[in-house]
Amino acid sequence: MAISATRQELHTLVDVVDELDLDTLYRVMVRFIPEDDPLPDEVEAIARAAEARQNGEIMTMSDINWD
């Protein structure tokens, strides 16, 4: 008999895991997330963002006048 779970059931299970075991559960779960290599344009965008951050060109949310 195959066991299948919904996302909601998994959320419920995580909610009942003891705090001391959350790190272990996290390490197990991230192993199931596929690791994709970034595309060339993504690598370029990351590099540009890092440079802008180093040059102080990045605005924080609090810097924006939302009015």
Q: What is the pLDDT of residues 3-53, one digit of tens each?
A: 788 999 999 999 999 999 999 999 999 999 888 898 999 999 999 999 998
Which residues have a Cβ under 8 Å from the Cβ of 46 and sit 6 or more positions away?
38
pTM assigned to the model:
0.45
- What is the rounded distance in angstroms from the CA atom of residue 40 to the CA atom of residue 64? 31
- DSSP calls for 52-63: HHHTT-PPPGGG
d(CA 8, CA 67): 39
Domain spans in the chain, listed from the N-terminal domain onward: 7-33
